[in-house]
Structure formats: structure tokens, C-alpha cells
């Protein structure tokens, strides 16, 4: 299916409902907008813990239903999930905060995700699409990392995310939870915090170029990144489609592109 066709609103989805936990954040807000464009009736649950709401315009225009709340609040989750077909579980705690407050990682990522899965089963949700992380792999033993790579998380963030991965499997066997687990790597784009611990190398390059200081590249600069070309990569996951359009480029290519786009020599 062509991208332009995917971005057209599908009238057959007008009665299909989706809940996005953490939908006011960086990745969640892009997902929310894509679902709205696709034709879903979207509800967002977010506690605005970072004091930023990236979907405020959609809330103002009543394009979405916004619920300010926390995934640790099970009664609220059960109420919010009534009538929902699909849950996109993006709510989490950032890596830096997990390192500083490991107990919060357990309370939010592990216990909060349990609440999401429990509520999904209770309310007969068709599928949960859960945001995991490449941090479950720890230091890579080989590159590129694939699904067969050993898991060896070295942070509270990665450890709790891996626990959630396994707990989802447990819930699938015990209670019939239907889920897809996506292990995000280094994601970058609009609405991303430029000061986060896991800030993309692309953002770091942009900040240094704007400050007219040379970007720092470890090694030869030949290390490669992969850019996913589809804006709608998360929506087709519902039907087990796979992303096939991607471009591999080096760190040096990235710096050159940043300089070009910022019109700096």
C-alpha cells in the first residue's frame, strides 16, 4: 500500500477505537496523530509528567478524547478502556529517571504495565501494542542486533521492560491477552526532548552544528544508522505488516545532511 493511500482517512475505521497511553509525549503524540488521520476514534491517557502536552491542539479541536491520569491507577484504567478495540501502550519512565529512582521504574513500567494488560483482558481489548526497548539487549555482542540477540539489560529501565515483555507472554497464556511487543531503538523526530538522557545522536549533531561547534564522531564515522521511511509504521502492526522501506546511512552522512538542511557549510 502506498504511503499517500495510508494517510487517507478510512471510513471503515470510524467506529474503531484506540487508546494511547503516554499519548501526549514524543512517540505517543506522533502515533496519536497518525491514528486520527487514519480514521480511528482515539483516546489518550497521559499524566503530563514532563509538563508537555504534544496533542493539546487535537484536544482543543476535539479530535481526540483526553484523559489526564496514570497507568498506576487501575480503576481509572478500567474505566478509560471501556469500549476500546486496540491499546497502544507507550507510557513509561525515561532511562535517566529510572537510574535515579529504580523503584519508580518498578512501580510505573512493571506494575503500570500489568495494570494495562489486566484492564485489556478485563475489557476484552482486541490487541495491545506495547513499546519495549532495545535496552533489553544491553551491550551488543554483535551488530546489527536482531531478535535472536541475548538479552542482558544493564539498567533498571531495560530490566523492567524485559520483565514486562515476559509478563505479557504470561498473560497471553493465562488470560488470552493478544499483544505485539516492539523494541524501539534510537528514535528521533519532532517533539523530542533535546536534553533527555537517550537523546538521539541526530539531535546532538543538530545542537552542535547550530552552536557552530564541530560534531563529535567516535571512530571513523562509518558506523551506520537505519532510517525507517514509513510515517505509518505503527498502524500496520495491527495486521502484522512489516516495515520494508529503510535506508542505511553512516554517521558522516548524517552530519553532512544536518549541515545541508541547516544551510551551514
Coil vs helix vs strand at 185 = coil
Q: How far apart are CA 263 and CA 84, in angstroms?
A: 46
Which pLDDT band, with edges at 50, 70 and 90, does 205 fall under?
A: confident
Longest dimension (CA), the chain: 59
Taking only the tens place, the pLDDT of each residue in 78-125 is 999 999 999 999 999 988 899 999 999 999 999 999 999 999 999 999
Which residue in 137, 157, 188, 198 is the catalytic one? 157
Q: How far apart are CA 38 and CA 97, in angstroms?
A: 34
Q: Annotated catalytic, 157?
A: yes
Q: How far apart are CA 176 and CA 194, in angstroms?
A: 40
User: Is the pLDDT confidence value at 128 over 60?
Assistant: yes
The strand pairing partners of 227, in sequence order, are 247
Asked whether residue 144 is domain-assigned, the answer is yes
Question: Which residues lie below 8 Å from residue 34, measured CB to CB, with a gap of 6+?
Answer: 231, 232, 234, 235
Which pLDDT band, with edges at 50, 70 and 90, does 237 fall under?
A: very low
Asked whether residue 70 is domain-assigned, the answer is yes
Instruction: Judge if 75 and 154 occupy the same domain.
Output: yes
Asked which of 159, 189, 219 is the last residue of a domain, the reply is 189
Asked which of 132, 159, 189 is the last residue of a domain, the reply is 189
Across 12-32, average pLDDT: 91
Instruction: Judge if 83 and 131 occupy the same domain.
Output: yes
Helix and strand counts by DSSP (H, E) for the chain = 10, 8
Burial class (CB in 10 A: 0-12, 13-18, 19+), 263: exposed
Q: How far apart are CA 265 and CA 97, in angstroms?
A: 37
Asked whether residue 195 is domain-assigned, the answer is no
Q: How many domains does the chain have?
A: 2
The strand pairing partners of 118, in sequence order, are none
Instruction: Judge if 94 and 169 occupy the same domain.
Output: yes
Asked whether residue 194 is domain-assigned, the answer is no
Which pLDDT band, with edges at 50, 70 and 90, does 264 fall under?
A: low
Instruction: Judge if 222 and 99 occupy the same domain.
Output: no
User: Is the pLDDT confidence value at 231 over 60?
Assistant: no
**Residue-level pLDDT at 98:** 93
The range of the structural domain enclosing residue 236 comes to: 200-265
Q: How far apart are CA 26 and CA 62, in angstroms?
A: 20
Which pLDDT band, with edges at 50, 70 and 90, does 242 fall under?
A: very low
Which residue shows C-alpha cell 501502550?
Answer: 89
Instruction: Judge if 174 and 218 occupy the same domain.
Output: no
Across 188-193, average pLDDT: 73
Taking only the tens place, the pLDDT of each residue in 137-172 is 999 898 888 889 999 999 999 999 999 999 999 999
Coil vs helix vs strand at 67 = strand
Taking only the tens place, the pLDDT of each residue in 58-89 is 999 999 999 999 999 999 999 999 999 999 99
Amino acid at each position: 500500500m502506498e504511503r499517500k493511500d495510508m494517510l487517507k482517512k478510512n471510513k471503515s475505521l470510524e467506529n474503531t477505537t484506540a487508546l494511547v497511553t503516554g499519548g501526549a509525549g514524543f512517540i505517543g503524540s506522533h502515533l496519536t496523530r497518525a491514528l486520527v488521520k487514519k480514521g480511528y476514534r482515539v483516546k489518550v491517557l497521559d499524566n503530563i509528567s514532563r509538563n508537555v502536552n504534544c496533542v493539546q491542539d487535537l484536544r482543543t479541536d476535539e479530535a481526540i478524547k483526553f484523559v489526564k491520569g496514570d497507568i498506576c491507577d487501575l480503576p481509572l484504567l478500567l474505566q478509560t478502556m471501556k469500549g476500546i478495540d486496540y491499546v497502544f501502550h507507550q507510557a513509561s519512565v525515561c532511562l535517566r529517571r529510572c537510574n535515579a529512582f529504580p523503584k519508580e521504574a518498578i512501580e510505573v513500567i512493571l506494575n503500570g504495565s500489568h495494570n494495562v494488560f489486566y484492564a485489556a483482558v478485563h475489557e476484552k481489548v482486541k490487541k495491545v501494542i506495547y513499546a519495549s526497548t532495545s535496552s533489553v539487549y544491553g551491550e551488543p555482542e554483535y551488530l546489527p542486533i536482531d531478535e535472536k540477540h541475548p538479552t542482558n539489560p544493564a539498567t533498571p529501565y531495560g530490566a523492567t521492560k524485559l520483565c514486562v515483555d515476559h509478563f505479557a507472554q504470561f498473560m497471553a497464556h493465562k488470560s488470552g491477552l493478544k499483544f505485539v511487543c516492539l523494541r524501539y531503538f534510537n528514535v528521533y523526530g519532532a517533539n523530542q526532548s533535546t536534553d533527555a538522557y537517550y537523546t538521539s545522536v541526530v539531535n546532538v549533531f543538530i545542537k552542535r552544528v547550530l552552536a557552530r561547534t564541530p560534531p563529535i564522531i567516535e571512530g571513523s564515522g562509518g558506523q551506520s544508522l537505519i532510517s525507517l521511511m514509513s510515517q505509518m509504521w505503527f498502524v500496520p502492526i495491527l495486521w502484522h505488516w512489516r516495515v520494508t522501506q529503510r535506508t542505511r546511512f553512516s554517521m558522516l552522512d548524517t552530519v553532512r545532511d544536518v549541515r545541508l538542511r541547516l544551510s551551514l557549510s
